[in-house]
Structure 1
């Protein structure tokens, strides 16, 4: 790391400590509840007429959170809370001066549309996590698990609870009945919980809250008020069992002679999910033969840089309580635990010849998984996950009907353990993580690692009312396997030990293990006043490997980061809020090569009419890469400038939009990027919502890597001028018949095509001028072969072909869609009717994107899947 980097980090450290004085006291509001008398009860109908409500008092006096923080709300709100031995009851009255204009949008669960009220409960009282219960004026419920002091809201958490709302001449009212089994708390004579009540007044786009929180605050949960009076309630152990049954029919275009593609398949599947409360704090989740047929398909994507593509987790079992297992140790998507590895596509291959047919499994079967997780009253966050995926076989059949099965994925066991401990009045924590992946490797899959183990320690300390923080972590990895597996790891794009100009790494074909480290250290200011800043560094050693159960894009990097931003949080006649920020980073490899520096400025403004603009620009005067030539020498890109501009309308309106433009230009026209973005959201009536998001991108590059060839024992790196164009559109609509019955649709066509020209070879990869970096093949050196769809290279023009380049032109086409009818017929139990369509293939790269869209997606016969999935949740 250079002297400049150390000076940046030292400056932030000194400036932060200089400003950090003793914590100041905060004024906490408190609500004291009382139990329901034994002879009384509450019916959840939203009317607030039950006599039991008379036993507790109303509380109100809300203040505005946004836009004019701290002012008096335009509409008043009040609430009261009571309880019995099994449930917490909450009544809320939202006054509205024009009840006819209350926005009562019907939607599916967790959509948070229209006017709503939300109750946040920190029953752990750890000032970092909480449970959120939300109901709209239309009676639509929402629920989220809050973590990271409000930085993360997980809507996949779906507890069983009861709610109803009602509109009258005073405004609207709501009731909530929350089972204590859905909350987590320890044993105590009197519970002390964190509490916040939050209202959205839709017409005025005004957020008001019971416990005042400044927009300068460093977080959300840490600022809650207090709920007192919960006496002699017993922690409730949770026991829920949810079996499911899936009936699936697949129909697709038949292929002549292919026994595996006869046009239709049918299967019946069953499984089980269970949630067992070992204590009120800790829960055991189990799944046997899980099915995720109702989950949206992944969006289309293509990567020409050779790196793996990160996809978000969508499967419910792995999403729930994911905050406990999360260990983002560096930046980007790098994480010690990436649950998409469990059930991944098989990594092996068959010995099928060109005259044979094969049926290859799409995903590995998860035989079973168990997840133990929770948080104790003493501040321990605990998580333990184990999953087993079965052996996966591909079937191969020849033209004579002889069939065989070949193993393409071994039996694999995954373990993840996570622990964190709060201390220092919940202002600090220290934690650790451990993961293990073990495979039963047969000879034909010897290129896979047999074992992978990681361990890590992390910490965070907040002070001065959590306005200042220092955080960090360290990760260690150890992978084992055959000599072939470890050699494959060393030469993968994540590591590239074969780089010809690297002195600090080299491929050792005799090794059977690798051990690496990574981590980060950061210090900054997260709250208080109008300024925010941070600085730190990140490292990933060359041998760090996480991709068996984690996600690591690239090893061998040291990165220094710094940023500062100014918040404008007091509304004016021009804007509601705004911010302006500047950031900078540099990167090095472990040999000391100074690879990159970037400066970026960006700003955001939310106008008085609730329209908004986001703008930014960056300058990269130095860009070197160790990966562009896939094991070749270090490569230099021409310096780059990029900018972006997005603006959008008020999203409360029936029709709202976002327009965006991104432009990147490198010197000497080395490469460029132009991206156009259009997003539309249309709500013609309360029960229906339609959204469309389209992107079109042009990404030409004069030096796109093509291949490596051997010329008299010397590697020759070939690049070309690519003209790449990509188009994608995602379409979603939701029609809600009532809060528990809805129809959703998701569809996305994706097309990307690339045409190569002006092939060249690398001459001096780190030259400043592009003309010195590569040398174009002359017309006499390169010819196109009409018989083999390739290019023939005769470098010395002696009439003899020196090597051949396969034509790299491509056109990738994908379409995925889901139409789902979802009915929650009783709380926690659902029926799904699903129709999925899909097609994946290639098109003519010399046709326009529009032509390929018409012929390969609109005009192509698609694979169709029809399924019925039914679940029933037994609460015992």
Structure 2
């Protein structure tokens, strides 16, 4: 290579590196004038501010400059209370701007504008604020792996459709952000504009999709100096009235409570529930669970979903443990029966403190206390009743320390502790985590070491460790992973884990296009290999190869195909429900193909057929998920999902008697129907419908006995009826009105029913009728919550 060529190469490398590292800077200025948030941007002060412009496409054609016809200009001003944002989004066809009205935090078919703010400029977490062209707000806490839209802040916005596009004005109080208390602030900043009809997203500071990490590629906001932020103290009192009736009784209940949010400083916040009321949270999706494990339920209670990113580090926190099912069942005599066994435990109070110092140390602490709970037992001989504790007064604690550094790396310590009174089981779990990235976000090394200690009748402890290395940039990426979990590793007092006592090796290799081709807007193919061995026996617990292809067409239709091959027989150490026993699982192959048509269309449709074929005579599982949706106009839409699964000659545990462990060969069907509807009166007021009907049965046609080698042999002696027929119905019709920032009136009509029998009824209409003939429960409730800002009250008095 000549000296000239070498010099040119060095210049090109330097230029490329410098281009990546270069961040746009927006300078803001302090104001004393009042700005009215009306979406009109008519205050003269806006003309004196710097402009963020020259947006670049994020997806699908990454790096392409925005056209002149779609020019986007954004300005920021600030005072001691908030920052103010004005955005002018030009569009040469304003009559084609999509603007479906939805409820908060739901992205419909609408154009969107968002601002992403990182008050510590550490490249690790964004506070994201979205407003649609219909004026609907959404907000989230974002880390690199996920966005948490359960977090809701109090901020203000207004949009206006014009003859040249649309405009946005936003006011984001400092109470909605977190930042250090230094005099001169430097924040990470990016803006995003989504043009929905073209399925295009543009950002102010370019986000290069060759690099896996998005947040570190933000621009810079400078100019905020010497701000004197107001006290962050908010009270949210609420009251609720419930009327409930079923076939047995009816009654009325009134509840009142208070949530408190206090800003200890500009970085740390305290949240407390004084009197909890979760009566209007979303219903749980009950299923016929024939697995050896409990059903994992979604968290629907706002306190345990909002701003819990710190507490979720390490995967040790399953919040449904707090106020979940009691941990014990009472021991009864032959002449006794349990007449009252509460399904859940009442939460007395909960508090959490979280935030981050200016040096990047995140600190989180959560504490919750649940009530002592009793079961009622009736003596059939004497007619006397007694009560027995099934869950003592229990205290739950979580402590998290998370140190960020180098814009994209962190080391964390997590401890969870469950303490129960009166000699019941206690638990303590600790974890050390690390996540290290190269400066250019090209490679990632992450792992953990976790230790659990259980104090019960017989104490035991266990551990889990893993190490992972990944290439996180470019068209070709890969992940290599190893993990070891000991037999007695147990986090189930405040976390959730099903499988232990194994070690595994995992590899993933992927290829993706970074810019559209003649055929695809996006295209990605992944290859995965997983081997998992049980520690005690060395037997193969999992062993599969998977190919997944994901693509978006030029018409913005989405396709996904997967093929999973299990070429070896494996062994299930949990289905037998007995320590040291295991079940042989035959070789199998599985596949699915999913299609989702362009969601911008008024009528859209998705369907996913799937199958699993076993190397066992007559054993097959197949399914079909179908989901049509129709948007009648920007206010009204309906959608339906049918999810059907058929398992022929499935095999599973049914009983254990003095002859051994009994399995059954059985046929199963699972049918789930979901209907959702929305009518938006305006962007603050919506009517929402959610209905779910679930039916499943399991019909045994051959009993089997499990041998010591894991194989099953025919059992002609066992004859008990272990069939199952299960129906579940849920219906929610709600009205929601956000009549003031953070303040809501909610009216809910709900009915639900469960039916479970040993008589299999295969006619769907008969099952549907039966669930309504069972003990149908109806609830009508009205809830009012009101947001009170201490500073507003203080100024009035």
CA contact (8 A) 1:751 1:849 kept: no
What is the rounded CA distance, in whole Å, between the counterparts of 1:721 and 1:202 in structure 2? 50
- 1:126 corresponds, among 122, 128, 141, to 122
CA contact (8 A) 1:727 1:849 kept: no
What per-residue deviation string (whole Å, max 9, x for no partner) do you get for residues 552-573 of structure 1?
Answer: 1121111111100001122022
Could you tell which deviates more after superposition, 398-407 or 516-525? Answer: 398-407
CA contact (8 A) 1:94 1:173 kept: yes
Return the offset for 1:395: 4.3
What per-residue deviation string (whole Å, max 9, x for no partner) do you get for residues 59-105 of structure 1?
Answer: 21111111111113342211111111111000001111121221121
- 1:629 and 2:581 matched: no
Counterpart in the other structure of 2:784: 870
Return the offset for 1:388: 0.3
CA contact (8 A) 2:583 2:706 kept: no
Counterpart in the other structure of 1:686: 634
What per-residue deviation string (whole Å, max 9, x for no partner) do you get for residues 439-497 of structure 1?
Answer: 1137xxxxxx5210011100011004112110011110000112xxxxxxxxxxxxxxx
Return the offset for 1:818: 1.9
The 1:392/1:569 distance shift into structure 2, 3 A limit, reads same
The 1:551/1:593 distance shift into structure 2, 3 A limit, reads same
What is the rounded CA distance, in whole Å, between the counterparts of 2:472 and 2:667 in structure 1? 43
Counterpart in the other structure of 1:854: 768
- 1:462 and 2:437 matched: yes
What is the rounded CA distance, in whole Å, between the counterparts of 1:383 and 1:585 in structure 2? 35
Counterpart in the other structure of 2:471: 525
CA contact (8 A) 1:524 1:533 kept: yes
What is the rounded CA distance, in whole Å, between the counterparts of 1:519 and 1:805 in structure 2? 45
Return the offset for 1:603: 0.3
The 1:550/1:764 distance shift into structure 2, 3 A limit, reads closer
**Structure 1, unaligned stretches of length 5 or more?**
1-21, 255-262, 329-334, 443-448, 483-511, 767-772, 783-792, 794-803
Please report the TM-score for the alignment, with normalisation by the length of structure 2. 0.93
CA contact (8 A) 2:725 2:761 kept: no
Please report the TM-score for the alignment, with normalisation by the length of structure 1. 0.85
- 2:259 corresponds, among 265, 273, 292, to 273
- 1:839 and 2:753 matched: yes
- 1:569 corresponds, among 514, 528, 533, to 514
**What SS does the aligned partner of 1:323 have?**
coil
**What SS does the aligned partner of 1:325 have?**
coil
What per-residue deviation string (whole Å, max 9, x for no partner) do you get for residues 328-366 of structure 1?
Answer: 4xxxxxx31111100002234455988967333232111
Return the offset for 1:672: 2.3
What per-residue deviation string (whole Å, max 9, x for no partner) do you get for residues 395-432 of structure 1?
Answer: 45689986654433211000110111012x22321110
Counterpart in the other structure of 1:752: 696
Counterpart in the other structure of 1:10: none
What is the rounded CA distance, in whole Å, between the counterparts of 2:95 and 2:17 in structure 1? 47
Counterpart in the other structure of 2:326: 346
What is the rounded CA distance, in whole Å, between the counterparts of 2:764 and 2:50 in structure 1? 64
- 1:420 corresponds, among 398, 402, 405, to 402
What is the rounded CA distance, in whole Å, between the counterparts of 1:275 and 1:607 in structure 2? 46
Counterpart in the other structure of 1:70: 63
Counterpart in the other structure of 1:9: none
Counterpart in the other structure of 1:486: none
What is the rounded CA distance, in whole Å, between the counterparts of 1:354 and 1:310 in structure 2? 35
CA contact (8 A) 2:38 2:169 kept: yes
Counterpart in the other structure of 1:436: 417
- 1:34 corresponds, among 17, 29, 33, to 29
What per-residue deviation string (whole Å, max 9, x for no partner) do you get for residues 607-633 of structure 1?
Answer: 000012100101112212222322253
1:554-565 maps to which residues of 2 (within 5 A)?
554-565=499-510
**What SS does the aligned partner of 1:591 have?**
coil
Return the offset for 1:814: 0.9
CA contact (8 A) 2:524 2:549 kept: yes
What per-residue deviation string (whole Å, max 9, x for no partner) do you get for residues 690-723 of structure 1?
Answer: 2222201011335322222324xxxx23222110
Counterpart in the other structure of 1:164: 158
- 2:663 corresponds, among 719, 725, 735, to 719
Counterpart in the other structure of 1:54: 47
- 1:411 and 2:393 matched: yes
- 1:544 and 2:489 matched: yes
**Structure 2, unaligned stretches of length 5 or more?**
1-15, 791-797
Return the offset for 1:836: 1.5
Counterpart in the other structure of 1:788: none
What is the rounded CA distance, in whole Å, between the counterparts of 2:203 and 2:346 in structure 1? 47
What is the rounded CA distance, in whole Å, between the counterparts of 1:383 and 1:662 in structure 2? 42
1:91-170 maps to which residues of 2 (within 5 A)?
91-113=86-108, 114-147=110-143, 149=144, 151-170=145-164
What is the rounded CA distance, in whole Å, between the counterparts of 2:255 and 2:298 in structure 1? 25
- 1:735 and 2:682 matched: no
What per-residue deviation string (whole Å, max 9, x for no partner) do you get for residues 126-160 of structure 1?
Answer: 1010111111111111111111x2x2111111111
CA contact (8 A) 2:722 2:758 kept: no
CA contact (8 A) 2:54 2:66 kept: no
- 1:669 corresponds, among 593, 612, 617, to 617
The 1:374/1:810 distance shift into structure 2, 3 A limit, reads same
CA contact (8 A) 2:648 2:667 kept: yes
**What SS does the aligned partner of 2:767 have?**
helix
Aligned residues: 766
What is the rounded CA distance, in whole Å, between the counterparts of 1:754 and 1:281 in structure 2? 54
- 2:291 corresponds, among 305, 309, 322, to 305
What per-residue deviation string (whole Å, max 9, x for no partner) do you get for residues 530-580 of structure 1?
Answer: 011011111210111111101111211111111000011220221101000
Counterpart in the other structure of 1:200: 194
What per-residue deviation string (whole Å, max 9, x for no partner) do you get for residues 20-49 of structure 1?
Answer: xx987512111111112x3x2110000111
- 1:244 and 2:182 matched: no
CA contact (8 A) 2:687 2:735 kept: yes
- 1:765 and 2:747 matched: no
CA contact (8 A) 1:296 1:746 kept: no
CA contact (8 A) 1:843 1:856 kept: no
What is the rounded CA distance, in whole Å, between the counterparts of 2:694 and 2:379 in structure 1? 34
Counterpart in the other structure of 1:87: 82
